[in-house]
């Protein structure tokens, strides 16, 4: 085989490789766009969904006793329900995961075992101030079946006395940007730990003693190794990134 022919074959192979990479990137970017507009962490993405009433004052103790009658189908629009003002919600990450598992058992006869379901994202809404805790949570789950991601979503709003669930949405698996689950059971730093770690720093930055909010979630940008804490007071905003294994954090977007 002549040198010119070898160079020609090599050039064709390189061109084909470049074309394949372009197709892969276009395909993955298309899927990313679909997920951003109608991802598994939005209830509006699910055609099969529902809501149930809970008693936030008794459900955790009830689950601890092994009771199974904690959910009552909610008829009507949950967002029309008024907030309960006679209770204080300061739940932990473990509390919300326990309720999510119980709801999965109630709705699907499936306790959302982390060995079977990975966590696509988890978001919790809480406060920088002690006593630390969270007032609401949203957890999107996924599992891979034959090159397709099967997803579920659970939302919990104990201050309003309801939980919601979505089921059955499917997403093609990307070629390169495959989903990464958050290992909540194996992580050394829980959401509760993360909010304690950054709480005092956030209060110092905002010079606030009586109010400081935090909306935290993980993963963000397909990053399952860090908690992302969006802390705010009025228009002031700081983003903390806390490693799930070490607890070390960085400030990525300080308010100027």
Domain count, the chain: 1
Instruction: Tell me how far apart the alpha carbons of residues 200 and 170 are, in angstroms, rounded to a whole number.
Output: 41
With 0.75 as the threshold, say if the pTM is over it.
Answer: yes
- The number of residues in the chain equals 256
In a domain, 19, yes or no: no
User: CA 125, 84, 162 angle in degrees (round to 5)?
Assistant: 65
pLDDT (0 to 100) of residue 25: 42
Run of H or E including 195: helix 191-206
Average pLDDT of the residues in 182-203 = 89
Confidence of residue 180 (pLDDT cuts 50, 70, 90): confident
Higher local confidence (pLDDT), 209 or 114: 114
Which pLDDT score is estimated for 232? Answer: 86
In a domain, 30, yes or no: no
Instruction: Give residue 20's pLDDT band: very low, low, confident or very high (50, 70, 90).
Output: very low
Domain span holding position 156: 43-251
Domain contains 32? no
Residue 127 lies in a domain: yes
pLDDT value for 9: 53
The DSSP bridge pattern shows strands 72-73 and 162-172 to be: unpaired
Do the domain assignments include residue 14? no
3-class state of residue 13 by DSSP = helix
Q: What is the pLDDT of residues 22-78, one digit of tens each?
A: 444 443 444 444 454 568 999 999 999 999 999 999 999 999 998 889 999 998 888
pLDDT of residue 26: 45
State mean pLDDT over 143-169: 95
* The Cα angle at residue 92 between residues 216 and 196, in degrees rounded to 5: 60
Per-residue pLDDT tens for 199-233? 888 888 887 776 778 888 888 767 889 999 998 88
What was the pLDDT predicted at 185?
A: 84
Please give the share of the chain, as a percent, with pLDDT higher than 70. 82
- Residue 36: its pLDDT value, please? 46
For residue 21, being part of any structural domain is answered with no
The mean pLDDT of the chain is 84
Task: For the sheet with 48-53, list strands across it.
Answer: 72-73, 48-53, 162-172, 148-157, 134-145, 118-127, 213-218, 226-233, 236-243, 249-251
How many Å apart are CA 154 and CA 42, to the nearest integer?
A: 10
pLDDT at 10: 61
Tell me if 16 is assigned to some domain.
no
Cis peptide before 219 (omega within 30 of 0): yes
20 within some domain: no
Range with lowest mean pLDDT among 60-64, 242-246, 251-255: 251-255
Dist. CA 76–CA 81, nearest whole Å:
9
Answer for the pair 94, 190: CB distance below 8 angstroms, yes or no. yes
């Amino acid at each position: 085989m002549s040198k010119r022919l070898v160079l020609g074959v090599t050039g064709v192979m390189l061109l084909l490789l470049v074309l394949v990479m372009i197709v892969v990137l276009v395909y993955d970017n298309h899927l990313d766009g679909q997920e951003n507009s109608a991802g598994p962490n939005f209830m509006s993405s699910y055609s099969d969904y529902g809501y149930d009433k809970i008693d936030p004052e008794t459900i955790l103790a009830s689950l601890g006793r092994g009771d199974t009658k904690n959910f009552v189908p909610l008829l009507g629009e949950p967002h029309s329900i008024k907030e309960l003002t006679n209770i204080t919600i300061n739940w932990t990450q473990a509390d919300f995961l326990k309720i999510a598992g119980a709801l999965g058992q109630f709705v699907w006869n499936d306790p959302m075992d982390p060995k079977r379901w990975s966590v696509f994202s988890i978001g919790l809404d809480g406060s920088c101030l002690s006593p630390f805790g969270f007032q609401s949570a949203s957890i999107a789950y996924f599992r891979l079946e034959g090159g397709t991601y099967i997803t579920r979503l659970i939302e919990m709003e104990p201050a309003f006395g309801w939980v919601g669930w979505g089921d059955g949405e499917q997403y093609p698996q990307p070629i390169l940007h495959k989903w990464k689950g958050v290992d909540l059971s194996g992580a050394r730093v829980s959401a509760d730990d993360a909010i304690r770690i950054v709480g005092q720093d956030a209060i110092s930055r905002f010079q606030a003693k009586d109010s400081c909010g935090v909306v935290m979630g993980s993963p963000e940008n397909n990053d399952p190794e860090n908690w992302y804490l969006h802390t705010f007071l009025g228009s002031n905003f700081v983003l903390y990134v806390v490693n799930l294994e070490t607890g070390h954090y960085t400030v990525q977007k300080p308010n100027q």
